[in-house]
């Protein structure tokens, strides 16, 4: 590239993630539909190739959206969900699936509503996006040299000047910032967007880790490392009613839980972690109450234990408890309830039964920190939504500037919501910019 003679483009996109790539495609496709000349679009990406984060999504399978209806998807984003309504109406999960199907990537929904490509390969999703960008003549510049380091609005010339790490200056009529958040930093997302947006006059809701494992105090947790417990209910417990939270997200959370060497993970915990992170700023530790057998009430469990006592006297308590929760967990909870490994049902006392019901239905964990941005799958906080028009994704501070994806103050739970958000906001932003270019 000739550094002394910077090229001028119609649209410069910072970040070739889900949102940036979809925005470039939407801009190109909309111009085609409007019979307009091909817009000059350049995407700057700091990783060596576009879509690196999409490649790790869903453990490499890419859970690209969720089967829920519009209201369900909006509710998943808590108090800020309403902002998403125009983006989702413009490009909802059906349109997203149709778009990928026409690009040779059919998808399927699984029992839990998560939607994956039939190939079960995130690579196929990224390839569909990069192939389409190429067909539409989008110029993609990827590599550390192309990390955007500074952005400024030149009012006298009515254009943006963006400087990349190699010192090159990029000039553009419209700028879309879609560089993601600051979580999973090894994927290139290091919070650059907040600095760039602030330099262009935007305020940032302080970022905090979300969908992040939690570090707990209980010394017995490492014994259960690697154990997954299906269908548990996790509730945040506070002495007073839960303080008003910025997230406005529902609790408790019902899903699978995973024990790790430091604490808790798995969707049931990850989906509460944004709230826990917020509470940890006000109090520590935060107490979680876990119900490992949410489909059985305490009375039912007491009746079951009495039946074991009366009819299964020779059997060990821990063995029978292993029939209602995973065996390793059964052994730990029995020990915590004061029931020894050789203890038989004949000697199962009323007090032990009571203790065991407490551990099974109200096991407490004390969280004193999250695993931080390094392990958080998404970043909560970001560009303030009241400074962005939800109908177009246009900045209210600078009308040539747009935002899409995780850089916005929008965070969904795990389950395909965040990629849908990135694709929908990217699509609407690209469509809006194409219409401005054509005007």
Residue 270 tokens, joined:
């990850």
How far from 126 is each of 97, 131, 133, 268, CA to CA, in Å? 14, 8, 11, 28
CA 87 to chain centre: 17
**In the bound complex, what is the minimum distance in angstroms from residue 66's beta carbon to ligand FAD?**
8
**In the bound complex, what is the minimum distance in angstroms from residue 317's beta carbon to ligand FAD?**
40
1, 8, 55, 56: which one contacts ligand FAD (CB under 6 A)? 56
Is the sign of the CA dihedral 298, 226, 370, 203 positive or negative? Answer: negative
Binding-site size for ligand FAD (CB under 6 A) equals: 37
Q: Which is nearer to ligand FAD, 252 or 405 (CB)?
A: 405
9, 12, 29, 46: which one contacts ligand FAD (CB under 6 A)? 46
Dist CA 252 CA 149 (whole Å): 41
12, 24, 53, 141: which one contacts ligand FAD (CB under 6 A)? 53
Q: Which stretches of 247-301 are assigned E, i.e. beta strand?
A: 253-259, 263-265, 286-291
12, 26, 39, 47: which one contacts ligand FAD (CB under 6 A)? 47
Which residues are CB-neighbours of 412 under 8 A, at least 6 positions away?
73, 76, 77, 378, 418, 420, 421
Using rule CB under 6 A, residue 63 touches ligand FAD: yes
Q: 406, 412 in Cβ contact below 8 A?
A: no
25, 27, 41, 57: which one contacts ligand FAD (CB under 6 A)? 57
12, 115, 147, 301: which one contacts ligand FAD (CB under 6 A)? 147
Per DSSP, the three-state class of 184 is coil
Dist CA 353 CA 321 (whole Å): 11
Task: Choose the stretch contacting ligand FAD; rule: CB under 6 A; options: 42-50, 104-112, 263-271, 383-391.
Answer: 42-50
Q: Which is nearer to ligand FAD, 252 or 413 (CB)?
A: 413
Q: 24, 405 in Cβ contact below 8 A?
A: no
45, 92, 274, 278: which one contacts ligand FAD (CB under 6 A)? 45
**In the bound complex, what is the minimum distance in angstroms from residue 427's beta carbon to ligand FAD?**
12
Chain residue at closest Cβ approach to ligand FAD = 17
Task: Choose the stretch contacting ligand FAD; rule: CB under 6 A; options: 31-39, 187-195, 231-239, 346-354.
Answer: 187-195
**CB atoms < 10 A from the CB of 134, how many?**
11
Positions 3 through 22 that interact with ligand FAD (CB under 6 A): 14-20
Task: Tell me which long-range contacts 85-88 makes (C-beta under 8 A, separation of at least 24).
Answer: 85/390, 86/390, 86/391, 86/428, 87/390, 87/393, 87/421, 87/424, 87/425, 87/427, 87/428, 88/420, 88/424
Positions 389 through 428 that interact with ligand FAD (CB under 6 A): 405-406, 416-419, 422
Using rule CB under 6 A, residue 363 touches ligand FAD: no
Q: Which residues pair with 109 in a beta bridge?
A: 115
107, 189, 255, 370: which one contacts ligand FAD (CB under 6 A)? 189
Using rule CB under 6 A, residue 58 touches ligand FAD: yes
Residue 258 tokens, joined:
């995973």
Dist CA 103 CA 385 (whole Å): 32
Using rule CB under 6 A, residue 192 touches ligand FAD: yes
Binding residues for ligand FAD, rule: CB under 6 A, are: 14-20, 44-47, 52-54, 56-58, 62-63, 147-148, 178-180, 184, 188-189, 192, 377-378, 405-406, 416-419, 422
């Amino acid at each position: 590239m000739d550094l002394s003679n910077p090229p001028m483009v119609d649209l410069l996109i910072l970040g070739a993630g889900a949102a940036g790539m979809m925005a470039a495609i939407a801009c190109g496709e909309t111009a085609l539909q409007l019979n307009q000349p091909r817009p000059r679009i350049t995407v700057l990406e700091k990783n060596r190739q576009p879509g690196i984060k999409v490649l790790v999504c869903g453990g490499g399978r890419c859970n690209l959206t969720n089967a829920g209806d519009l209201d369900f998807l909006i509710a998943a984003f808590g108090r800020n969900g309403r902002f998403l309504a125009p983006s989702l109406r413009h490009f909802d999960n059906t349109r997203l699936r149709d778009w990928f199907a026409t690009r040779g990537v059919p998808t399927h929904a699984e029992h839990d509503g998560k939607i994956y490509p039939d190939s079960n390969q995130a690579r196929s999703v990224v390839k569909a996006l990069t192939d389409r960008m190429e067909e539409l003549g989008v110029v993609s510049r990827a590599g550390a040299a192309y990390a955007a380091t500074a952005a400024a609005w030149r009012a006298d010339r009515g254009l943006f000047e963006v400087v990349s790490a190699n010192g090159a200056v990029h000039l553009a009529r419209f700028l879309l910032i879609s560089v993601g958040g600051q979580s999973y930093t090894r994927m290139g997302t290091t919070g650059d967007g907040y600095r760039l947006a602030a330099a262009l006059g935007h305020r940032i809701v302080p970022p905090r880790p979300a969908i992040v494992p939690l570090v707990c105090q209980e010394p017995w947790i490492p014994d259960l490392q690697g154990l997954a417990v299906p269908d548990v209910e996790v509730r945040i417990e506070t002495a007073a009613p839960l303080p008003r939270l910025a997230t406005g997200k529902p609790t408790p959370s019902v899903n699978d839980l995973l024990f790790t060497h430091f604490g808790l993970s798995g969707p049931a915990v990850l989906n509460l972690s944004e709230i826990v992170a917020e509470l940890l700023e006000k109090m520590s530790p935060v107490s979680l109450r876990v119900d490992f057998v949410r489909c059985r009430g305490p009375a039912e469990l007491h009746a079951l234990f009495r039946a074991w006592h009366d009819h299964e006297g020779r059997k060990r308590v821990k063995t029978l408890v292993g029939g209602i929760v995973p065996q390793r967990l059964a052994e730990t909870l029995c020990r915590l309830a004061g029931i020894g490994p050789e203890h038989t049902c004949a000697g199962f006392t009323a007090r032990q039964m009571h203790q065991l019901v407490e551990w099974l239905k109200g096991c407490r964990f004390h969280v004193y920190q999250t695993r931080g941005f390094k392990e958080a799958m998404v970043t909560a906080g970001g560009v303030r939504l009241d400074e962005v028009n939800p109908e177009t994704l246009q900045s209210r501070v600078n009308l040539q500037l747009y935002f899409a994806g995780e850089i916005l103050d929008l965070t969904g739970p795990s389950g395909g919501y965040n990629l849908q958000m990135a694709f929908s906001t990217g699509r609407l932003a690209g469509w809006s910019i194409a219409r401005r270019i054509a005007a």
